[in-house]
Amino acid sequence: MNTKCLIIGSGPAGYTAGLYLSRAGIEATILSGPQIGGQLTDTHEIENYPGFPENISGYDLMEKMKLQSEKFGTKVLTGVVTEVDFSKRPFIIKTDDNQEFVSESVIIATGATAKYTGLEAEKKYLGQGVSACAVCDGFFYRKQDVVVVGGGDTAAGDALYLSNI
């Protein structure tokens, strides 16, 4: 399949890229991985996204972003990218289901994935006291004792952020 711009990833950045490209008259195709809408679709309730004072679920927000992007002509397809040849133009992108895309430009908007310890209790209490986003969820734990698990820059930054609330 040929497209002017292939966007790898269907989270907020992918849908926003598709929206702006399509509105500018540039053919855009979003290639979603296995989780259409990205990891935000797992968020039960979002209360800190501008424009939604009554809160919105992550799934509903991503569905609205998808529909708005498609409204202007963005194509949204599924497939996991397994290979990209950036050595020559146009770029050739291959997926795990043997699709092949030819594109003049590629936007990589694959987002992030939280790292967990793998403990059963962690899975059991995810979203009920266990969180992977201090900025997103720190508000719920203000004036409480919390534990930050991790040893990198993100853990240190989250600990500093939480210490102020």
Say yes or no to pLDDT of 73 above 80: yes
Average pLDDT over every residue of 146-151? 89
70-73 long-range contacts, CB within 8 A, separation 24+? 72/19, 72/22, 72/23, 73/22, 73/27, 73/28
pLDDT of residue 16: 97
Active-site residue (options: 5, 42, 60, 137): 137
The token pair at 155 is 């853990």
What pLDDT does 124 receive? 93
Residue 49 half-sphere exposure toward CB, CA atoms < 13 A: 15
Q: Is 136 a catalytic residue?
A: yes
Instruction: Give CA–CA dist 6/145, Å, rounded.
Output: 45
Q: Do the Cβ atoms of 105 and 4 come closer than 8 Å?
A: yes
Distance in angstroms (rounded) separating the CA atoms of residues 147 and 136 = 16
d(C-alpha 68, C-alpha 90), whole Å: 28
- Residue 127 is predicted with a pLDDT of 82
Q: Which of 60, 85, 96, 133 is catalytic?
A: 133
Instruction: Examine the residue annotation and report whether 133 is marked as an active-site residue of this protein.
Output: yes
Distance CA 14, CA 107 (A): 8
Residue 58 pLDDT > 80: yes
Residue in 136, 145, 153, 158 annotated catalytic: 136
- Confidence band, pLDDT 50/70/90 cuts, at residue 17: very high
| Catalytic site includes residue 137 | yes
Residue 149 vs residues 11, 34, 123: alpha-carbon distances, Å: 26, 27, 14
- Mean pLDDT of the region 133-151: 88
64-84 per-residue burial string, b: 16 or more CB within 10 A, e: under 16: ebbebbbeeebbbbebebeeb
